[in-house]
Chains A and B, each alone.
Chain A
C-alpha cells in the first residue's frame, strides 16, 4: 500500500495511493511501529492541501516509504501520532502551521517559524514553571556572539534548568516558496543559501533532486569531486565545532589552533572553486570546476597539515582533566531518548544510534567508496566533541583515497527534460546529519512542491532535552556541541 523507493529514485505521482483518513493513520502508525523514521509530512502540492504524504526512511532496508492520505477539505484533522511516537511531534506542528491541519490531542502544538501565531484558536503561550525559587531566563533573538538569532526560554530552579523552550523562525525567508518561483539558476543560489555553513550539503541534495527528475547520468569524476567537497565541508565545520567547545570551556590554545586548521580546510575549497564555502561549485549535471595538478597539490598540502596537527591538538584537548570534567556527563541524551525523538546525524551517532545516510542510503561516490559508521555511546558533550575528532580522521582518509584514485572523464553531463507528474526524494548526509529535499512536478514538468528538511529540524529538540537538569551555565557548551542551524531550520 505504501510506495517503496530508493534514495534519489524518480517515481510517478500517480503511483502514490491516497488513503482515506482512517487507513492513512493506521498505515502511518504501522510504519512508525516498524521503527521507520519520519522524514517529511507535507501536502503533495500546496494548491491541494487535502492530499498529504508521510515519508519515512528505513535504515535497515535502505528504502524510503511514502504513505498518501486524502482528507476532507473542510476537516483537515487527524489523530496525533506524537503521544506514542514523539519523533512526529515537530512534523505535525509544521503541517499545522503551514497548511492548517489540526493534529487532535497533540501533546504540544507550538509555532515552528511564525511569530505571534494563533494555534488552535489561542495565542501561543510559552511553557511556564511556577513555584518558590523558580525563575525564568529569556535570551535572544540577538545573542552575545556573532551568531544567528533564536529565542531561548529557560525555566530554572537555582542553577538547574528544568525546561528549555527554543523558539525559532527569526531567519524565515520562505526559501521553499522562492525555490518554486525561481528559475533554475536562481534555485542553485537559493540552495547554497539555505544554510551557509552547509552549502555543499544542501546544494548536493538540490542538484540530486533535479538530476534524478531529468534522468541525468553524472560522470564518476563529477561525483568524486562533489563528495570530496562534501567531506572538506565536514572537516571544516567539525574543526569549527571543536574550536567552539574548546573556547566555551576557556581552553584558548586548542581553540585558536582548530581555527587555524579550519582556514586551511576552507581555503582548499577556495582554491577549487573560488569560494571558501564552495559556492559556485555545483551545477546541474556535475560540477563547474575541475581538479588540476596545481589545485590538487594545494588541497593535499593543506589536508596533510590538518592531518598532522589535528592529531596533536586532539590529544591535548581530550587528555586535559579540566576539559574532560566539563565535557563528560554534560548535556546527556540517552540512546533511547535519541531514538524516540528522532535525532539524526552527528548528535544521533554520539548517542549510539547508527544514523549515517552515507552508509544507510548510499548515494553518489559513496556507493563505490564507502565510509565507516562511527558511533559513541555516552551521548554527552564529550561524545559529540570526540565524534567530530574521529569523523575528521575518517573524512581525511576518504579524501586522500579519492585524490589518489581520481577517475578521469568529463565533469558535467547534459540534463534531459524534467519528467512531468513525478517526484524525487533525495537524502544527503550533511556535516550535521540528514538533509532531505523533495520535489514534485506537475503535468507540464514544473516543480509544484519543494520541501526541505535540515538536520537541525530534528535536532533542536534534542538540545532542549539535553539541557534538562543541567546547569544553565553549561548552556553555551551544550549548544555548541550540537552546533545547529537556525537558517536551515527556519528556511
Chain B
C-alpha cells in the first residue's frame, strides 16, 4: 500500500491541462507557412526534393495530406519561403483545406452539422482500423489515452467493437489485404457514423502512394469527416481537431 502511494506521488500532475495552447519545442514541425515572396528564377528545388510530391509551384502550395513533415523543402529553399512553424492545430474537415498557400496562416475544421454535434457532442466512441499503418500512428492514437493527454476527459474514447462505435479512425494507406476488412468494419458501425483519417498514409497514401499493394477505393467512395495530417500526427492535433469539429471549446 505504501508503495502504491509512493508511486502515485511520483506520478504528480502529468496531464496537459490546457490542450489548446501548448508550447512545442522549437524543432517540432507543424503547420508550414509560405512567405509572400517570389521564387528565384525557375527554381523548383522544393518541389523536386519533396519525397511525396506534396509541393506545387507558381504559386508555392503544400498539400498537408501528402506532406510527411520532413524538413527537406525548408532546407533547400534559397529564398526561405517555406517555414514549418510549431503550430500543431492542423486538423481540417475538407481535403481542400489541407492545401496550404501563402494566404493561409492557420487552419481548423468548420464545426460539424447540428445533428452530428447533437449526437456526438458529449460522447464520441471510435473504432480504430490499422490498414497498413507502420505503428507510428497507432502509437500516437494509443498515447491519447495515457495520463498525459487523457482524451477520455472530453468524452472521446476508443472502443473494441465497431458495433459500439460512432465512427472509425483509419491509419495507413489501406493495403490490398486490409481493404475488405476495412469495409466490413465500417459497415458494422451503426448510423450515423463518421470517418476520421489519421496521418499522411490514410489521407493520401503518403510515402506508399505509388505502391501496387494498396487499395484506395474505400476513401474515394466515402465522405470523410475529419483529416488529421502528419507523419504521425501529434496526439494534441487529434484532440484539438475533434473538439474544434464538435465545437466543444
Contacts and interface: CB of A to CB of B under 8 A. Distances in A.
A182 to B, nearest CB: 8
A316 B7 contact: yes
A158 B212 CA distance: 43
A260 B28 CA distance: 20
Contacts of B207: 178, 186, 189-190, 193
Nearest to B134: A196
Contact of A146 (B24, B142, B206, B208): B142
A171 B175 contact: yes
Interface size band for A: 35 or more
Given A193-B207, A274-B25, A319-B3, A173 B181 contact: no
A195 B178 CA distance: 17
Interface string A68-105: 00000000000000000000000000000000000000
Interface stretch (A217-225, A276-284, A348-356, A358-366): A276-284
B155 interface: no
A185 B135 contact: no
Contacts of A197: 135-136, 139
A490 to B, nearest CB: 8
A325 to B, nearest CB: 17
Given A170-B175, A172-B213, A257 B72 contact: no
A272 B231 CA distance: 17
A149 interface: yes
A253 B7 contact: yes
B136 A193 contact: yes
Given A197-B135, A257-B11, A312-B6, A181 B130 contact: no
Interface in A135-173: 141-142, 144-149, 169-173
Given A196-B133, A487-B135, A173 B214 contact: yes
A259 B211 contact: no
Contacts of A210: none
Nearest to A190: B207
Q: Pick from B28, B137, B178 the residue with the most CB of A within 10 Å.
A: B178
A313 interface: yes
A315 interface: yes
Contact of A171 (B50, B133, B148, B158): B133
B168 to A, nearest CB: 10
B123 interface: no
A112 interface: no
Interface in B146-160: 146-148, 158, 160
Interface in A185-216: 185-186, 188-190, 193-197, 199
24 contacts: A145-B142, A145-B158, A146-B141, A148-B133, A149-B178, A170-B178, A171-B133, A172-B176, A174-B213, A181-B210, A185-B72, A186-B51, A188-B70, A195-B134, A196-B232, A257-B7, A260-B11, A270-B24, A270-B25, A274-B25, A274-B28, A275-B29, A312-B3, A315-B3
